Amino acid sequence: MDIALLFIGFILMLIGILGSFLPVLPGPPISWVGLLLLYLTQAIPDDWWVLGITLGIA
């Protein structure tokens, strides 16, 4: 399950980066969902401050 979340999270992060250049894709929301998926895995240590700050900025 962690491998699937990591893969989907990284794909969403890449799509979000592409969304900053392509006007069709909403870049920041897609990147934030990818970041959220990466934080839900056990492979990434929990640091909810970074996630909260990015939500506040977005």
Q: What are phi and psi of 3, to 5 degrees?
A: -65, -40
On the 0-12 / 13-18 / 19+ scale of CB atoms within 10 A, 15 is middle
C-beta separation of 2 from 41 below 8 A: yes
Domain tally for the chain?
1
- Whether this model's pTM surpasses 0.85: no
Tally Cβ neighbours within 10 Å of residue 11.
Answer: 13
Band of the pLDDT at 58, cuts 50, 70, 90? low
Mean pLDDT (whole number) for 10-24: 89
SS percent in the chain: helix, strand, coil, step 5: 70, 0, 30
Residue 49 confidence (pLDDT) = 78
Q: Which structural domain, as residue segments, surrounds residue 18?
A: 2-57
